[in-house]
Structure 1
Amino acid sequence: MMKPNLLLISVDQMRGDCLSILNHPVVDTPNLDQLARVGVLFRSAYSATPSCIPARAAMLTGMSQRSHGRIGYQDQVPWDYEHTLPSVLAASGYHTQCVGKMHVYPARSLCGFHNVVMHDGYLHHNRIRTANTAAEFYDSCDDYLPWLRERAGADCDLLDLGLDCNASTVARPWHLPEALHPTNWVVTQSIDFLRRRDPRKPFFLSMSFVRPHPPFDPPQAFLDMYADADFPSPAVGTWAQADDPDRCGLNPITNKGIVPRHRLKRAQAAYYALITHIDHQIGRFLQAMLEHDVLRNTVILFTSDHGEMLGDHHFFRKALPYEGSAKVPFILADPGGSLRLNRNTTNDQVVEIRDIMPTLLDAAGAAIPETVDGQSLLPLARGERVDWRNAIHGEHECKDMSNHYMTDGVLKYIWFSQSGREQLFDLSQDPQELINLADDERYRTSLENWRERLAAQLADREEGYSDGKRLNVGRPAQTLLKQALGASL
């Protein structure tokens, strides 16, 4: 019998709570809900480094940030990893294909895939005209734009809507036919792969969407679905800054500030609409898989690289340790039942993006390289008794808000390395992180324990954050670990 096909569906900047099966008060995700019903929904899934590049390094290599070396957002650093998910699967007899976002360097690096049909969205370093001509950008850094220009006119560009690629507070509807939207394009190209794949081999397809990452530009039909919705107010903790003296919220690409309520409401509507749009296009692809008779022999994993604060605690975008930014949706589905999962169940063990590679390799019966730090989720998903990790460590360089966090899915400890500020949240009682318990005497012992655990975690790091017992405040934050990346720098 042929090995199972593998489908990794990844989206960009989708919050972990934005699934209707999790009783979100507004967002509707019927197809993702159905995947959860034929699989397992992991409710405590995190991105250890919640921005695009480092999260995708974990996704492709199965490594922790200590091993893959990316602890902040920095473009144009070569990807020279010995083992990647597609390279191991290709060596195991799989036909491997990526459609959509890669966000690697060089942009055309295959990273082990047999082929990549790429759209990374708007990347500033690729668009600087002093370094790249327009022709070089279209020809070497993107496959969607030439496709779009052939159908909608030679002058079409990613900037036509006037929306910035990081503007999490500004929205407007897509201006062209829905079939030309980047979300539809990913599915159109993925369906074409089903036609062109080698039928003698199992396939691994990475279907990687740029949305719901900004620009917030859903097709009008999906925006209309949320026109009259009663949007929940963002979570604002008692610890959050109460005013906006620098008027940061009036900057459409800031990661903090208080924005006008009407603008925030439009942004929420567009963000949720983009998620539902993706959900419907996933439904389109599942139907195509039925028609190609591959659905029942395909294992499907759905996740995001990180979340979106969307106004929580007056923050936007990502790179922060809070649930809106660091927590991601995570579904392992098995429509055909070959993996013997406890289908239509949830699991609350703390999992991370680095667990994707070992999970899919385990499903394929392929050997897991020693470089992989993650763990296969199949035993958890089958309900087996497993000696699982007791916490994860996350971090991100973020200037004066550079941060580290640790969580076991119940408690979360946060340390801001530049100021020494600490936060402690009881997620079991306070999932929106409204109450900081760091100054609560009842939690002093717990706070000290978490601080010691983080100090041990950072003991031999090159930044000098810790001597193994105590945390050192004010050490310069880095975006990369030289010890891990070595010759790549």
Structure 2
Amino acid sequence: MSNAPDIVFIITDQQRYDTIRALGAAHMDTPNIDRLVETGVSFDQCHVTAPSCVPCRASLFTGYYPHTNGVLANGQPWSRTWVSDLANAGYHCVNVGKMHTIPYDAKAGFHERYVVENKDRYMEGRWFFDEWDKALASHGLKKQQREEYRKRPDYKDRLGAFTWDLPAALQSDNFIGDTACWWLETKPVEKPLFLVVGFPGPHPPYDPTPEMAEKYMARDVPLPDVSDEDLKALAAPWIEKRAHDVEVDHDSVAWKLDPTADELKRMRAYYYANCEMIDTQVGRILDALQVRGNMDNTIVIFTSDHGDNLGDHGLSQKWAPYDEVTRVPMIISAPNWFKGGRKVTEMVQLFDLGPTILEWAGVTPDSSLEAISLNTALEGKPFAGRRHVFCEQAGDVNMTGASYLTMARSETHKLIRFRRSSEGQLFDLVADPGERKNLWNDPAAAAIKQDLLDALLDFHLESTIQTKNARRLIVAPSDAEALQ
């Protein structure tokens, strides 16, 4: 273990691919994540296995698809992870910030956890007091979130965008950055380190500090371009979701069917401002790692658990597996391990990080894992990537119009199938990269549609065979009853 690398895994919540300047987002200032892009390997087509927090993270930290590990919606219990394999291999495993295990404070294989959860926990875990809650309370402050925002006369016009008006150091992402740096500067560890830093942002409420909000309000930012034709072409579950999100506010977002350009501008500007605030904290963490003295043998990962429609397709937040939601940034920087400044264009899935990390630690991943190692690509060797990527979701409170959906995406086409429905979605991603024209019922696309339906069938058949003995690796004895 003497040469085992320190591994620092930075994961944000709900950050789109198009939020990093070095990856093409000219409207953003992200100098610190840009540094990782310049020194690292960027995966241009990394897609999540679930379009919401809990199932995506359970998939990421188990190495199995949601239908295999049984976690298909937010709020479902999960706690067993491959982090315990790192601990057993001699790593000191620490989490600062969001993991979104259920229960929130499950050990999940870590030696130390400093739990910070969703900024707005109105629907679940409302009375769970995390490290951030305690810090606010110690200052005699009350957290800004839905119950307080609802008192505002303009609440339904804000689309979840509010400035953080309490001390800047107590904004959740600033607090996470401070806590991670404090730990790195304070705690001596002789073992190799596995550190997961989970930022709660830019997940709503979109809550930058006033000066950062002002910065992005003063610049041109890309806004959603949604026509009446686009809205009429939406599948029924997304039409129902639009109506539901107007009736029920989620994460302090009260949605509108026809938001004004000014309202959309504020929502987007505040979201982008949150992203730059995270970038600043990433820079502080990188500096703290440098001072710690082992950067020559440290691998840094930056990614997110899913994206955000931000009004694209007329939709709020996630759940609908458009590329704005399923495609996330993933950057791995370790110049002494992997040649930097490279981009991998083949398709991968976010949970492929699991076996990749295990191999860095000298651990052989279990053969039942559905995730694959990315080390061939990182080493610059021939890498085929995935022919298809898959995404699935079931039973979430926002998906009132669909009990279960599955997505299959090739490099050129995407198909979404809804359980017990003759309706679905099919997009030609070459001719229609914005996913506006649904070809589901187009006779000219029938062969492509059947190919992707066959890919979904094969996906489930192969999964059943490969993971037939996996339940013992997924479900801890205390979890078994909850997951029945």
User: TM-score scaled by structure 1?
Assistant: 0.84
- CA RMSD between the two structures: 2.9
CA distance in 1, matches of 2:386, 2:179: 38
Kindly report structure 1 stretches of 4+ aligned residues shifted beyond 6 Å.
163-168, 242-249
1:78 equivalent in structure 2: 77
Residue pair 2:346, 2:384 contacting (<8 A) in 1 also = no
Query: 1:369 offset after TM fit, Å?
Result: 2.5
1:186 equivalent in structure 2: 176
Of 443, 446, 462, which residue of structure 1 is paired with 2:445? 443
CA distance in 2, matches of 1:346, 1:235: 29
Matches within 5 A, 1:305-320: 305-320=305-320
2:44 equivalent in structure 1: 43
CA displacement 1:280-332 (0-9 Å, x = unmatched): 11111111111221323210111111111101110111111111121111111
Query: 1:239 offset after TM fit, Å?
Result: 4.1
Query: 1:448 offset after TM fit, Å?
Result: 1.6
Task: For residue 349 of structure 1, give the secondary structure of its aligned residue in structure 2.
Answer: strand
Q: 1:276 to 1:115 in 2, by over 3 A?
A: same
2:231 pairs with 1:240: yes
Query: 1:374 offset after TM fit, Å?
Result: 0.7
2:67 equivalent in structure 1: 66
Query: 1:8 offset after TM fit, Å?
Result: 0.7
1:149 equivalent in structure 2: 137
1:103 equivalent in structure 2: 100
Query: 1:5 offset after TM fit, Å?
Result: 0.4
Residue pair 2:217, 2:269 contacting (<8 A) in 1 also = yes
Query: 1:32 offset after TM fit, Å?
Result: 1.2
1:15 equivalent in structure 2: 16
CA displacement 1:176-206 (0-9 Å, x = unmatched): 2221111111111111221344432110100
Q: 1:301 to 1:167 in 2, by over 3 A?
A: farther
Matches within 5 A, 1:190-229: 190-229=180-219
Query: 1:254 offset after TM fit, Å?
Result: 5.7
CA distance in 1, matches of 2:185, 2:288: 10
CA distance in 2, matches of 1:159, 1:247: 20
2:161 equivalent in structure 1: 171
Query: 1:415 offset after TM fit, Å?
Result: 1.7
Query: 1:232 offset after TM fit, Å?
Result: 2.2
Matches within 5 A, 1:108-123: 108-121=105-118, 122-123=120-121
Q: 1:363 to 1:53 in 2, by over 3 A?
A: same
Task: Say which is worse superposed, 2-11 or 407-416, in terms of deviation.
Answer: 407-416
Task: For residue 407 of structure 2, give the secondary structure of its aligned residue in structure 1.
Answer: strand
CA distance in 1, matches of 2:462, 2:401: 22
Of 86, 90, 112, which residue of structure 2 is paired with 1:89? 86
Query: 1:100 offset after TM fit, Å?
Result: 0.5
Question: For residue 288 of structure 2, what is the amino acid of its counterpart?
Answer: A
Residue pair 1:95, 1:198 contacting (<8 A) in 2 also = no
CA distance in 2, matches of 1:9, 1:275: 13
Residue pair 1:163, 1:171 contacting (<8 A) in 2 also = no
Matches within 5 A, 1:24-423: 24-73=25-74, 75=75, 77-81=76-80, 84-121=81-118, 122-124=120-122, 137-138=128-129, 142-151=130-139, 153-156=140-143, 158=145, 162=149, 169-236=159-226, 238-241=229-232, 253=253, 257-334=257-334, 337-339=335-337, 341-397=338-394, 398-401=399-402, 402-423=404-425
Question: For residue 323 of structure 2, what is the amino acid of its counterpart?
Answer: E
Query: 1:446 offset after TM fit, Å?
Result: 1.2
CA distance in 1, matches of 2:256, 2:350: 26
CA distance in 2, matches of 1:459, 1:376: 21
How many residues are aligned here?
450
CA distance in 1, matches of 2:217, 2:77: 44
Task: For residue 217 of structure 2, give the secondary structure of its aligned residue in structure 1.
Answer: coil
Q: 1:461 to 1:257 in 2, by over 3 A?
A: farther
CA distance in 1, matches of 2:156, 2:43: 28
Residue pair 1:168, 1:214 contacting (<8 A) in 2 also = no
Identity across matched positions, percent: 30
CA distance in 1, matches of 2:17, 2:157: 20
Residue pair 2:246, 2:256 contacting (<8 A) in 1 also = no
CA distance in 2, matches of 1:329, 1:275: 12
CA distance in 2, matches of 1:297, 1:156: 39
Q: Which residues of structure 1 form unaligned runs of 5+?
A: 463-480
Question: For residue 180 of structure 2, what is the amino acid of its counterpart?
Answer: S
Q: 1:35 to 1:167 in 2, by over 3 A?
A: farther
Question: For residue 144 of structure 1, what is the amino acid of its counterpart?
Answer: W
2:478 pairs with 1:487: no
CA displacement 1:321-367 (0-9 Å, x = unmatched): 11112111111111xx232x242111122111211111111222222
2:468 equivalent in structure 1: none
1:475 equivalent in structure 2: none
Residue pair 2:206, 2:274 contacting (<8 A) in 1 also = yes
CA displacement 1:35-62 (0-9 Å, x = unmatched): 0111111111111111111011012112
Task: For residue 275 of structure 1, give the secondary structure of its aligned residue in structure 2.
Answer: helix
Query: 1:169 offset after TM fit, Å?
Result: 1.8
Residue pair 1:80, 1:488 contacting (<8 A) in 2 also = no
Question: For residue 303 of structure 1, what is the amino acid of its counterpart?
Answer: T
CA distance in 2, matches of 1:67, 1:410: 27
Question: For residue 146 of structure 1, what is the amino acid of its counterpart?
Answer: K
CA distance in 2, matches of 1:22, 1:431: 17
Of 451, 454, 459, which residue of structure 2 is paired with 1:452? 454
Q: 1:303 to 1:235 in 2, by over 3 A?
A: farther
Task: For residue 319 of structure 1, give the secondary structure of its aligned residue in structure 2.
Answer: coil
Query: 1:67 offset after TM fit, Å?
Result: 2.0
CA distance in 2, matches of 1:163, 1:58: 34
Residue pair 1:79, 1:488 contacting (<8 A) in 2 also = no
Q: Which residues of structure 2 form unaligned runs of 5+?
A: 465-474
CA distance in 2, matches of 1:205, 1:48: 23
Task: For residue 96 of structure 1, give the secondary structure of its aligned residue in structure 2.
Answer: strand
Residue pair 2:79, 2:103 contacting (<8 A) in 1 also = no
User: TM-score scaled by structure 2?
Assistant: 0.85
Task: For residue 95 of structure 2, give the secondary structure of its aligned residue in structure 1.
Answer: strand
Task: For residue 373 of structure 1, give the secondary structure of its aligned residue in structure 2.
Answer: coil
Question: For residue 267 of structure 1, what is the amino acid of its counterpart?
Answer: M
Residue pair 2:387, 2:411 contacting (<8 A) in 1 also = no
Q: 1:377 to 1:256 in 2, by over 3 A?
A: farther
